[in-house]
């Protein structure tokens, strides 16, 4: 149906559509607006105040570092996992699929706690690591591990259905035409999934920067050292600095909106090409 054609909704349908819109406004738009309203409660100066503190900047920096490490790692892992799952038959394939989905189904707190149980001072490898002078929990390494685990499914989940649908024929054709493994990957496999990959990376990034639960467990909340943006928001809030908390929260909300905007833009700008990679 073309966008310009008018759709007549029969019977109760218009009311149901209105209800859905009202629900969306009440549950999504209002809370989101509250973030910005609260943040600007003391005017622009109040809004900017938390950004003059070094702790805020170190939280921003740390969030960027953690996402900057975990997102590329999961992009590579997602590609490799999707390729393995959709191109080969092997023992343990369904187990791998289930493992990829696991972070979706378990509580983020667990995803953080497992690292503490493994590498914490009282953890399984804790004493051994301690003896070698390696610290994982309450460091950036721990934050990255927790974030990688939490965001593990995003890229793979985007790619698997698409690569399954596309099949392996194009890669086989490239090989019979004389292309080697890497050539086939960079000239056939990757271009065919690039939009899904980009979309997966966007979602992965949004979650990596916004993750609270798992990161909270392994962070230790050391200000200026292991505090990411979401944790910083919590600290400010707990210190009754509501305006500061919401001001920092606008960064996270803005990130979410930006991700949504980027996704919509990509879908609009490359609609034809995205459709072509699915259809055949």
Partner 1 sequence: MSLIVNSVSKAFGRYPALADVSLEARQGEFLALLGPSGSGKTTLLRILAGLEAPDGGAVTFGGEDLLALSARERRVGMVFQHYALFRHMTVARNIAFGLSVRPRATRPSKAEIGRRVGDLLRLVQLEDLETRYPSQLSGGQRQRVALARALAIEPRMLLLDEPFGALDAKVRRDLRRWLRRVHDETGVTTVFVTHDQEEALDLADRVAILKDGRLVQIGEPQAVYNAPADAFIYDFLGGAVRLRGHVAAGVLAIGDWRTPTPDDAPQGGVDAFFRQDQAVINGVEGEGFLAAVKGMAQRGPAIRLDLEALGEPLELLLAAGEVPDFARPGGTVRIAPRQLRLFAAA
Mask of contacts with partner 1, 191-230, x by CB under 8 A? xx--------------------------------------
List Cα–Cα distances, 134 to 66, 126, 151, 172, 255, in angstroms. 19, 9, 25, 46, 33
Which residue from 90, 176, 240, 268 is in contact with partner 1, where contact means CB under 8 A? Answer: 176
Using the minimum distance from each CB to partner 1, give the nearer residue, 127 or 181: 181
Least distance to partner 1, CB of residue 179, Å: 4
Least distance to partner 1, CB of residue 203, Å: 22
Exposure class string for 239-248: b at 16+ Cβ within 10 A, else e = eeeebbbbbb
Residue 188 sits in the site that holds partner 1 (CB under 8 A): yes
Residue 280 sits in the site that holds partner 1 (CB under 8 A): yes
Using the minimum distance from each CB to partner 1, give the nearer residue, 14 or 191: 191
Closest to 207 (Cα-Cα) out of 230, 227, 184, 183: 230
- Check: CB of residue 157 under 8 Å from CB of residue 100: yes
Residue 273 sits in the site that holds partner 1 (CB under 8 A): yes
Stretch that binds partner 1, among 12-20, 105-113, 123-131, 166-174 (CB under 8 A): 166-174
DSSP character for 50? G
H helical segments located in the chain: 13-24, 30-39, 43-48, 54-87, 93-105, 108-119, 126-132, 140-166, 169-176, 181-184, 190-210, 213-219, 229-238, 242-269, 271-278
Which residue from 107, 164, 183, 264 is in contact with partner 1, where contact means CB under 8 A? Answer: 183
Least distance to partner 1, CB of residue 215, Å: 38
Residue 279 sits in the site that holds partner 1 (CB under 8 A): yes
Using the minimum distance from each CB to partner 1, give the nearer residue, 116 or 162: 162
Residue 6 sits in the site that holds partner 1 (CB under 8 A): no
Which residue from 172, 222, 258, 260 is in contact with partner 1, where contact means CB under 8 A? Answer: 172
Termini Cα distance of the chain:
21
Least distance to partner 1, CB of residue 206, Å: 27
Which residue in the block uniquely carries the two structure tokens 């966007």?
202
Residue 187 sits in the site that holds partner 1 (CB under 8 A): yes
Closest to 148 (Cα-Cα) out of 85, 197, 76: 76
Which residue from 179, 198, 253, 262 is in contact with partner 1, where contact means CB under 8 A? Answer: 179
CA pair distance 6, 23, nearest whole angstrom: 24
Using the minimum distance from each CB to partner 1, give the nearer residue, 183 or 238: 183
Rg of the chain over Cα atoms, rounded to whole angstroms, equals: 23
Binding stretches for partner 1 (CB under 8 A): 167, 169-170, 172-180, 183, 187-188, 191-192, 273, 275-277, 279-280
């Amino acid at each position: 149906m073309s966008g310009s054609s008018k759709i007549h909704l029969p019977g109760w349908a218009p009311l149901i559509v209105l209800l859905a819109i009202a629900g969306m406004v009440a549950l999504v738009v209002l809370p989101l607006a509250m973030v910005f309203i609260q943040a600007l409660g003391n005017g622009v100066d109040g809004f900017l105040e938390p950004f003059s503190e070094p702790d805020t900047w170190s939280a921003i920096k740390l969030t960027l570092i953690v996402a900057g490490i975990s997102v590329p790692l999961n992009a590579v892992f997602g590609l490799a996992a999707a390729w393995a799952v959709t191109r080969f038959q092997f023992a343990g394939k369904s187990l791998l699929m289930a493992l990829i989905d696991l972070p979706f189904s378990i509580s983020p707190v667990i995803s953080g706690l497992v690292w503490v149980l493994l590498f914490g001072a009282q953890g399984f490898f804790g004493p051994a690591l301690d003896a070698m002078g390696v610290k994982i929990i309450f460091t950036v390494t721990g934050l990255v591990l927790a974030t990688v685990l939490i965001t593990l499914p995003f890229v793979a989940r985007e790619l698997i259905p698409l690569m399954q649908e596309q099949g392996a024929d194009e890669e086989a054709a490239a090989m019979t035409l004389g292309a080697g493994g890497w050539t086939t990957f960079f000239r056939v496999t990757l271009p065919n999934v690039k939009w899904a990959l980009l979309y997966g990376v966007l979602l992965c990034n949004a979650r990596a920067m916004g993750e609270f639960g798992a990161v909270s467990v392994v962070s230790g909340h050391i200000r200026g050292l292991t505090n990411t943006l979401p944790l910083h928001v919590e600290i400010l809030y707990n210190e009754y600095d509501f305006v500061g908390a919401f001001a920092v929260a606008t960064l996270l909300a803005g990130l979410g909106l930006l991700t949504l905007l980027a996704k919509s833009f990509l879908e609009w700008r490359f609609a034809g090409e995205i459709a072509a990679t699915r259809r055949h």
